[in-house]
Structure 1
Amino acid sequence: MSTDRNDLEFRVYVSFCVEKVTETLNARAERFCTFLLILLGSAVFAEMSNTFVLGVAVAAIAAVQFVCRFGEAAGAAKAQKHRYSGLLGSMSRLGDDELQSRIDRIEELDTRSPSFIDVIAYNKACYMCEKEDGMRPLPTFAWLMAFLVGGHPCGHRVRKESRSSAH
């Protein structure tokens, strides 16, 4: 297999992982906001002296949820993830030109994702393709987010060789 072909296939894996991590992040943010709204909304019924603060918190969370549209973003990323999944399944049967053409068509619908997701997705793709040597170290924030969105074991800061030599 040529280097160009390997690069194309790896690009599909990275794009798949970007969409998967984006979907997970947005779905979890949506559920967390909904949980907080229900929790804080029900706290109004408790005997609390400062319901004004609760009201402000509920309004702020509802505004964030409305503006960011986590649910819609998760749905769009899920649909795009399925497109890439289909391409992953048929990649071996496609010629280089057809693969490039399909990638170009699918990429037009890519979702916008925070920049920290790129390195998490890259490491996840390296892990999926058994290229752990190519994994990049994650900045602290990206490492924390990888932990929250299921990016482990791709979020490890310590390489396998370092762990095994420590024991």
Structure 2
Amino acid sequence: MTPQRNADEFAVFVSFNVEKLTETLNARADRFCTFLLILLGSAVFGSMADTFWLGFAVASTAAVQFVWRFGEAAGAAGSQKQRYALLLGCMSSLSDSDLAAELERIQEHDSRPLSAIEAIAFNKACLMRGQSDQMKPLPTPARMLAPFIGGHPCGSSLRRGSASSF
């Protein structure tokens, strides 16, 4: 396998995981905002003494959900994840140039992930390819985010000192 082929295949695995983790994060954020809106909205019917703060919380949650559009971002990442999954399935039958062209075509529609998601996706790709010795320790934000988006245990058992060769 040529070094370029190896790099392209690894890029497919990383991109697949980036989209999968982005979809999971955004879908969970959307469901959490919806839950808060329903919970806070139903609290209006209770005997709450200070409705100003309750209204502020409802308006803030709705604004966050509207501005960041978690549901739309999750849908776009899910579609992109499916494209990468199809490429993963037929990758072995593609020539080097076809793989590079297909990867470039699909990457045009990639999501803009958090840097923490990229670090987790890199480690997940290493695990998927059986290259766990290439995993890097996760930065603190990624370690905190990983259990919530399906990135655990990517990097939890790595020691800080083991990344000196990267």
SS of the residue 1:154 aligns to: coil
Residue in structure 2 matched with residue 102 of structure 1 by the alignment? 102
**What is the distance in 2 between the residues matched to 1:80 and 1:157?**
30
1:80-133 CA-to-partner distances (Å, cap 9, x unmatched) read: 000000000000000000000000000001111112111010011111111111
Determine if contact 1:147/1:155 at 8 Å carries over to the other structure. no
TM-score by length of 2: 0.93
Residue in structure 1 matched with residue 126 of structure 2 by the alignment? 126
Shift of 1:157: 4.0
2:151 aligned partner, one-letter code: G
Quote the RMSD (CA, aligned, Å): 1.2
Shift of 1:154: 1.2
**What is the distance in 2 between the residues matched to 1:115 and 1:154?**
15
Equivalenced residue count is: 160
Gaps of 5+ in 1: 163-167
1:150 aligned partner, one-letter code: G
Gaps of 5+ in 2: none
1:35 aligns with 2:31: no
TM-score by length of 1: 0.93
Residue in structure 2 matched with residue 11 of structure 1 by the alignment? 11
1:56 aligned partner, one-letter code: F
2:104 aligned partner, one-letter code: D
Determine if contact 1:20/1:81 at 8 Å carries over to the other structure. yes
**What is the distance in 1 between the residues matched to 2:3 and 2:101?**
18
Determine if contact 1:138/1:157 at 8 Å carries over to the other structure. no
146-155 or 7-16, which deviates more: 146-155
Shift of 1:14: 0.2
**What is the distance in 2 between the residues matched to 1:66 and 1:44?**
21
Q: Which runs of 4+ in 1 moved over 3 A?
A: none
Shift of 1:156: 1.2
Residue in structure 2 matched with residue 165 of structure 1 by the alignment? none
**What is the distance in 1 between the residues matched to 2:41 and 2:158?**
43
Determine if contact 2:135/2:155 at 8 Å carries over to the other structure. no
Percentage of identical aligned residues: 62
1:31 aligned partner, one-letter code: R
1:155–1:39 Cα change, 3 Å:
farther
Determine if contact 1:24/1:74 at 8 Å carries over to the other structure. yes
Residue in structure 2 matched with residue 75 of structure 1 by the alignment? 75
Shift of 1:68: 0.1
1:38-89 CA-to-partner distances (Å, cap 9, x unmatched) read: 1111111111101110000000000000000000000000000000000000
**What is the distance in 2 between the residues matched to 1:80 and 1:59?**
31
